[in-house]
Amino acid sequence: MHRAGADAPPFLVVHGDTDTVAGVGQSRRLVARLRAVSREPVCYAELPHAQHGFDGLPTARTAYTVRAVHRFLTAVHTRATATAR
């Protein structure tokens, strides 16, 4: 969090709201900090009723999360390649 700056890379943070390993507040604070200082996209998805290792088993939620990550990475790549031209 203390190293977040204008040169931070794009971020997609996915956190379960019932995570007992890492409190969801940590992700919320990180995202708020990144959004305040970064020039890159910062996206946040808070998953209702999801634990820390929610994606350990293949479920519908896992499939949706994988699709969301793919869309995020595709958007970041498209943006980066368009800017490089």
Per-residue pLDDT of the chain in tens (85 residues, 90 and over written 9): 888 999 999 999 999 999 999 999 999 999 999 999 999 999 999 999 999 988 888 999 999 999 999 999 999 999 999 987 7
- Provide CB contacts within 8 A for 70, sequence distance 6+: none
Report the sign of the C-alpha dihedral through residues 36, 42, 38, 21, in that order.
positive
pTM over 0.95: no
Close Cβ partners of 33 (under 8 Å, ≥ 6 residues apart):
1, 4
